[in-house]
Amino acid sequence: MNVIEVKGLKKSYGQVHAVRGVDLSIPAGEIFALLGPNGAGKTTTVEILEGFRSRDAGEVSVLGFDPKVQGHGGRQWRDRIGIVLQSAADAGDLTVIETVDHFSGYYSKPRKPDEVLAAVGLEEKSGALIRNLSGGQRRRLDVALGIIGSPELLFLDEPTTGFDPEARRAFWALIQQLRGDGTSILLTTHYLDEAEALADRVAVINDGLIIEVSTPAELGGRATSQAVVSWRDGNQIKTEATDNPTSVVTRLNAHFGGEIPELTVTRPSLEDIYLTMIGGVHE
Amino acid sequence: MNKIPSALNLGMRRGVLEVKQFSRQRESVVFTLLFPVILMAIFGSVFKSQQLPEGVTFSQYFIAGMIASGLVNTGFQSLAITIPMERDVGGLKRLRGTPMPASSYFIGKAILISVSMIVQIALLFGFGVLFFSVNMPTGASKWLTFTWLILLGSACSTAIGIAFSVVPKSGRGASAVVSPIVIILQFFSGVFFVFTDLPAWMQQVAAIFPLKWLTQGMRSVFLPDAWQKQEVAQSWENGRTFTILIIWLVIGVFFSVRKFKWDRD
């Protein structure tokens, strides 16, 4: 079963066509990353799926329900999803554990607050007031509040913005563990390495349309694109683009009669591919 | 399938959390709870010698107005300012993304307002009796009137405050929008001055809004019945006060439910 099914989604703000016909199918258990520059329609799409925004056209099903669902049905639907928004800076006068414990009371089958704090690495800050947390700690609290209800589907919006490299690695491990527990995850991120490390599939959205949906390894023909072999010959660096890097290396090996000086074989990074796809526009 | 907690149950939990949060904000605790006492001290001292009809002291007249405007300050004013601030920092949007229903959020606010009203009234009573020889209401019927005025007044003020929270565009600007309304209403409604001394047009404007009626109702609790002759209608008009508060409560609840904004854009 697909946790998210979107067909022909459209949304305009006045004259601005933010989303111009998006289709998405995300099967249960997948980590799916939505990539795109600011203003591409990423946030609008995700907020429609989260039930925060209305749409102009198209069909949307999230866990089998239209996110427009209201009243008791809406509560039961929200009981099954978790949302980590870009930023929330409220409740500074409560402690971490008070807040997590309080939010756990909203759900029918919450995780244990201490276990969630341990999972996000905040157990030592349990008794601290939220206003005394660092930016990264606060972000981890956001994540804790997103997963406290044992969601079947988790929305993560730019989850690691402001993390140091170590905290990002720890966060990625947490996300992989959640997937291991069967949680489906829709991730939006600016970091291509994050998408590559976490996502089973990525979609690139630009100008309100999905350009491509693929695995990170295959996006934009990355797996089949030419490799670049480079080496030093005398005091010159030489490069050669090729479909058969192994034979080039074998040839060079024979040429040098052993070790090839400063040999590298590279394929385009996900970032290279992504930037080409969105027309080289940097965010 | 497990059941999600009821809206009322979550409302109570919200109330406990709101009170806990409020009690940790020292500045707002002092401002909200002690401000009426400070006003009482200032006005009580300035007008100490002023003689009102029927042997009523100014302090006795003033405590009725202070409790009535306490209801407006604590409910309407504080909610119409703090809710836009919560919205600005993304706290409301996060709540919107959980299974907690809007009604629980509103119940939580109503609990916070009620608790802070009770503390405020206790302080005003204690201070008034100790330093300004204020007489407490006497007789069961006065206390009964007092009780429904506080309950209905708190509910009404909470509902209008939540409804009005959509008006300020940002938390920073909220105070500038809300505070003048409250101060003007206080002057028009006979909180600081004897109502019948005000120009007729002011009295008529005030009669549209709840504060005038709350103040008048509180006078029926704190002043001797002989004072009724001094009222515009020569009567306490408690039945009319009840009706007008109910109408405002319905208006407040209607707009709170229909128009509440969780998100800044």
* Pairwise CB contact (< 8 Å): A79 & B4: yes
Looking at the domain assignment, is residue A67 inside a domain? yes
CB A90 within 8 A of CB B86: yes
Report chain A's mean pLDDT, rounded to a whole number.
88
Subunit contact A103:B21, Cβ cutoff 8 A: no
Residue B250 above 90 pLDDT?
yes
pLDDT of amino acid A85? 85
**What pLDDT sits at residue B220?**
94
Same domain, residue pair A24 and A59: yes
The closest CB to that of A85, out of B4, B5, B93, belongs to B93
**Residues A71, A36 within the same domain:** yes
Q: Are residues A230 and A220 in the same domain?
A: no
Other Cβ atoms closer than 10 A to B42:
10
Q: Where are the alpha helices (DSSP H) in A27-134?
A: 42-49, 71-78, 96-104, 113-119
Considering the entire predicted model, what is its pTM?
Answer: 0.86
* CB proximity B26 to A under 8 Å: no
Packing angle of the helix pair B140-164, B210-222 (nearest 10 deg): 160
- Given a cut of 60, whether residue A130 has pLDDT beyond it is yes
Report the chain B residue with the minimal C-alpha distance to residue A150: B98
Q: Bridge partners of A16?
A: A13
Give which of A75, A111, A129 to mutate to test B binding, by max B Cβ within 10 Å. Answer: A75
In a domain, B2, yes or no: no
Distance to chain A for B133, nearest Cα, Å: 39
Beta-ladder partners of A187: A33, A156
Nearest CA to CA, how far is B36 from chain A (Å)? 25
| Locus of tokens 């690495």 | A121
Residue-level pLDDT at A281: 47
* Partner-chain contact A75 B4, CB within 8 Å: yes
| ipTM metric | 0.86
Interface contact A13, partner B, CB < 8 A: no
CB-closest option in B4, B17, B24 to A102: B17
Average pLDDT over residues A20-47: 91
> How many domains is chain B built from?
1
Give, in order, the Cα–Cα distances in Å from B136 to each of A96, A155, B182, B219. Answer: 44, 57, 27, 12
In this prediction, residue B157 carries a pLDDT of: 95
Q: pLDDT confidence of B2, banded at 50, 70, 90?
A: low
The pLDDT tens digits for B172-221 are 889 899 999 989 998 898 888 888 888 999 999 988 999 999 999 999 99
Name the residue among B25, B93, B99 with its Cβ closest to that of A78. B99
Distance from CA of B186 to the nearest CA of A (A): 32
How many residue contacts between A and B have a Cβ separation below 8 Å? 76
Same domain, A71 and A1: yes
Instruction: Using alpha carbons, select from B81, B259, B258, B77 the residue that is nearest to residue B157.
Output: B77
Cβ separation B4–A89 shorter than 8 A: no
pLDDT at residue A68, as a whole number: 87
Q: Which domain holds residue B146?
A: 7-259
In this structure, the strands spanning A31-35 and A184-188 are: parallel
Question: What is the CB-side half-sphere exposure of residue B146 using CA atoms within 13 A?
Answer: 19
Domain CATH code at residue A199 = 3.40.50.300
Residue B1 in any domain: the answer is no
Q: In whole angstroms, how far apart are CA B207 and each of B198, B210, B231?
A: 12, 7, 13
**Residue A283 pLDDT grade (very low, low, confident, very high; cuts 50, 70, 90):** very low
In a domain, A138, yes or no: no
| Average pLDDT in chain B | 90
Q: What is the pLDDT of residue A92?
A: 81
Tell whether A122 is covered by a domain: no
**Of A170, A201, A224, which one is at a domain's C-terminal end?**
A224
pLDDT of residue A280: 57
- Token code pair at residue A210: 């999905």
pLDDT score recorded for residue B189:
86
Instruction: Quote helix, strand, coil % in chain A, to nearest 5.
Output: 35, 30, 35
Total tally of structural domains belonging to chain A:
2
Residues A19 and A75 in one domain: yes
List chain A residues with CB under 8 Å of B171. Answer: none
In a domain, B129, yes or no: yes
What is the nearest CA distance from A2 to chain B, expressed in angstroms? 21
- Domain with A64, as residue range(s), is 1-80+153-158+184-224
Is residue A176 domain-resident? no
Give percent of chain A above pLDDT 90: 43
φ/ψ (deg, to 5) at A48: -70, -40
- Residue B264 inside a domain? The answer is no
Check whether A21 has a pLDDT greater than 50.
yes
Classify residue A282: in a domain, yes or no. Answer: no
Same domain, A8 and A71: yes
Asked if residue A225 has pLDDT above 60, the reply is yes
More confident residue, A62 or B1: A62
* Distance of residue A194 Cα from the nearest chain B Cα, in angstroms: 24
Contact A89 B90 (CB under 8 A): yes
Q: Tell me whether residues B25 and A93 touch, CB distance under 8 A.
A: yes
Please say if the pLDDT value at position B151 is more than 50.
Answer: yes
CA distances from A26 to A2, A47, B69, B105, B117 (A): 5, 16, 56, 33, 51
